[in-house]
Chains A and B, each alone.
Chain A
Amino acid sequence: MTGKKDRVKVQSRAWGGILAVLLLVAVALAVAACGEESTTTTAASGVTSSTVAAPSGEPVVIGAIVSATGANSALGEQERNVLVMMEQVINEKGGVLGRPLKIVVEDDKTDPKEAVTAANRLIDQQKVVALIAATGSASTLAVKEITAQKGLPQIAMAAANDITDKPPMDWIWRTPHKDALAVSRALDYVVNVLKVKKIAVLHDENAFGSSGNAEIAKQAPTLGLEVVAAESYKTADTDLTAQLTKIRGKDPEVLIVWGTNPGPALAAKNMKQLGMNIPYVGSHGIANKKFIELAGEAAEGVVFPAGRLLVPSSITEPAQKAVTDEFIALYQAKYGASPNTFAGYAFEAVIILVDAISRAGSTEASAIQAALNSTTNLPGPDGYYNYSPTDHDGLKAEDMIMVKIQGGTWVLAE
């Protein structure tokens, strides 16, 4: 039997153990944080030294927040590459307003809280004239609150509808097609190419999937489409045959799957297992090699909307082709790989912002705002940008292409 005194002792020992574990975790975290901290400091000091080396006046400082690490790192890494590259490219071309351009890049680690801290640091300490932020929608929306309040132009590289649909939107513009445009493009394909009426939706329960589902439900009736089934899944679900069985019971003519990896790949495999051979139309969330790798043979024939950079041969407009070819050549020369869609968004963000500052002839926030709002027919890999005081999206649904997976690679579906 354990005496009361002993029990107290045992308990205190137990707490000692817990404390030891907590301490270990704390130390690990601190070490990790220190590592991160030191890298950002070196990056910042590196930038400062280049300032000293540039004699042509005060630099024009633009802040950028990307997710170079964390869940969105596959997107943010190339964005960071482009931002670093473009600072050099613009300066070789004479800078902005005759002054050198300086782009200070911060990593939000795919965490909106980090994005907010980074935004405040960039605005208060670096005195940036505008922000390019951010990679993911959550971080973008978090930073939007700050730029709206301080009246600072922000160019977003994320696709959630709310970024430009929900006020305040006076200080935010974006380069990707917003999710609603991807839905329009996909439904347009269903109506005009597949020529069917009864659609079923399978979507992720996360923000991307559910907003896509809501948008489909909103747009389908206006196009004469009937949503006969709408089922959802959790990002980590291990099997989707139950959802698909239910969908099959409603007899749809096409299945639209709205989500990001790995769910849509699982859906493709499970459809094949069930012998469902209705067309599979995906979202722009599967515009990556990972989907093909995960779904394997089941990926064949899957169609989805995407930016034109995914199939560069789809860009035929001369001005758009010229700017895209130059971008791809620059990126390949510097990084030895082809830029992905997200690299394109960052590229467009820089050229749009530099164009606006040049036309504004000043780094005054309100002047840049007015110049951004009057951006007309500015070509980028994704299309021609036309902003106005009420349209901060710039692109149209037609700027997207429908891509089909064939022989393990991407081809134009139309």
Chain B
Amino acid sequence: MTFDQFLQYIFSGITSGSVYALTAIGFTLIFSATHIINFSQGQMVMLGGLGAVALHRAGLPLWACFLGAVAAVTLLSTGLERAAIRPLLRKGVLAQIIATVGAAFVLETAAMVAWGREALSLPAFSGETPLVVGKATIIPQTLWVLGLTIVIVVVLQVFYRRSLFGTAIRACAVNPTAARLQGISYQKVVLFSFALSGAVSAAAGVMITPISFMSYSSGALLGLKGFAAATLGGLGNPLGAVAGGYILGIVEALGIGVVSAGYKDAIAFVILLLVLFLRPAGLLGARVVNRH
């Protein structure tokens, strides 16, 4: 493997890694507040992408498609919380997780009916002329995704660490009962987490559609990879989710380069297992897993 090839594999890894990272952040946002693993996360990403495609077909400029799709999926995500999660609040987390699995099927089928089975695409935000670094190339859209990831992570960190509501969310994650005794509305926190997660997922979906196309069935794989990335980095930690996403993407790309594309998922899976054996809470996960 020459250095140029190596650099190109890293760039490829960053491209897929960004996708995984953004999906993983969505998982993390909901998990950290509620301990629910939202298995319809990939479908939210898919709906963000397809929603933007629909708006673009209606003739809206790209930025408006972006905002529109984010707003729509945010609403949908809060709707999901109201319709399927809140009624099961007292049935425990397991029932709520199963409700998200059901939601994934419903959303996927709905998307199939609305958009059909074919993959759809969006134009790139700032052209498709690749940027050349050494002899390797990267498309501008990847930098958009990378930029969005950085912005989201920074904003989330500031929000969770500095703002009162962010602190309240973290308090709920640590101990919902104690948090409630302090006058924090647990239901508001849950609703807000779903809204935020929906917004981030939709933004990711819109951003990656020009790179990799989007179809009603894309959500399943995105959800799976995003979940793996979130687990790898440590569920509940947005920074961990991002690290997990990029590690997964780069390992897959190098796996293709060194071994073969047929084994890339197996390689990624083995690494995930190894990490979980050595550090059950993930790379950046909390050392003590809070249980109540």
Known contacts A13-B90, A238-B212, A266-B212; 4 further A-B pairs (Cβ under 8 A): A25-B102, A239-B12, A245-B9, A261-B119
- Residues A290 and B261 in contact, CB atoms below 8 Å apart: no
Q: Which of B208-241 contact A (CB under 8 A)?
A: 208, 211-213, 215, 217-218, 220-221
Contact in complex: B16, A274 (CB < 8 Å): no
Stretch of B67-75, B91-99, B178-186, B191-199 with 4 or more beta carbons under 8 angstroms from chain A: B91-99
The distance from the CB of B37 to the nearest CB of chain A, in whole angstroms, is 16
CA distance A237 to B256 in the complex (A): 13
A236 with B221: CB separation less than 8 A: yes
Stretch at the interface among A14-22, A138-146, A370-378: A14-22
**Contact, CB under 8 Å: B256 / A275:** no
Contact with B along A11-37 (1 / 0, CB 8 A): 101101110010011001000000000
Residues of B within 8 A of A28 (CB): 106
CB contact between A10 and one of B90, B98, B218 (< 8 Å): that residue: B90
Give complex CA distance A296, B211 in Å.
12
10 A-B interface contacts by CB (under 8 A): A10-B92, A13-B91, A16-B91, A17-B88, A17-B98, A74-B118, A234-B221, A239-B212, A242-B261, A294-B121
> Assuming the A-B contacts A236-B221, A294-B119, are A17 and B91 also in contact, with contact meaning beta carbons closer than 8 angstroms in the complex?
yes
A273 close to chain B: CB less than 8 A:
yes
How far apart are A300's CB and chain B's nearest CB, in angstroms? 13
Q: How far is the CA of A303 from the CA of B227 in the complex (A)?
A: 39
- Check if A241 is an interface residue, CB within 8 A of chain B: yes
In the complex, B32 has a CB within 8 A of chain A: no
Q: DSSP majority for the A interface?
A: helix
CB distance from A258 to the nearest CB of B (A): 14
Given contacts A21-B98, A249-B5, A274-B8, contact A242 B213 (CB under 8 A): no
Q: Which residues of B contact A70 (CB under 8 A)?
A: 117
Residues of A within 8 A of B (CB): 10-11, 13-14, 16-18, 21, 24-25, 28, 70-71, 73-74, 205, 231-234, 236-239, 241-243, 245-246, 249, 261-262, 265-266, 269, 272-275, 290, 293-294, 296-297
Q: Contacts A74-B118, A294-B119 hold; do A236 and B217 have CB atoms under 8 A apart? A: yes
The interface residues of chain A lying within 8 Å CB-to-CB of B217 are 236
> Is B128 a contact of A245 with CB atoms below 8 Å?
no
User: Considering the complex of A and B, which 4 residue pairs feature the smallest CB-CB distances, nearest first?
Assistant: A238-B212, A17-B95, A262-B119, A242-B12
| Chain A proximity of B273: nearest CB distance (Å) | 20
Q: Which residues of B contact A239 (CB under 8 A)?
A: 12, 15-16, 211-212
How far is it, in angstroms, between the C-alpha of A297 and the C-alpha of B119 when the chains are bound? 17
Binary interface encoding of chain B residues 107-130 relative to chain A, with 1 for a CB under 8 A from any of its CBs, else 0: 000000000011101000000101
On whether A265 and B213 interact (CB within 8 A), knowing A10-B90, A74-B118, A241-B8, the answer reads: yes
Residue of B nearest to A275 (CB): B137
Q: Looking across the interface, which residue of chain B has its beta carbon closest to that of A28? A: B106
A365 CA to B218 CA in the complex, in Å? 45
Whether B139 is near chain A, meaning CB under 8 Å from some CB there, is: yes
Q: Which residues of A contact B121 (CB under 8 A)?
A: 293-294, 296
Q: Which of A24, A246, A261, A296 contacts B256 (CB 8 A)?
A: A246
Q: Does B2 contact A (CB under 8 A)?
A: yes
* Residue of B94, B98, B99, B213 with highest tally of chain A CB at under 10 A: B213
Tell me the complex Cα distance, A273–B252, Å: 19
A205, A249, A269: the one contacting B262 at CB < 8 Å is A205
* Chain A nearest Cβ from B220, distance in angstroms: 8
Q: Would A231 and B260 count as touching, CB distance under 8 A?
A: yes
Between A239, A296, A297, the greatest number of chain B beta carbons within 10 A of the residue's beta carbon is seen for A239
Q: Given contacts A239-B211, A266-B213, A269-B128, are A14 and B92 in contact (CB under 8 A)?
A: yes
The verdict on B36 contacting chain A, using a C-beta distance below 8 Å, is no
- A265 CA to B90 CA, complexed, in Å: 48
A231/B261 in contact, CB under 8 A:
yes
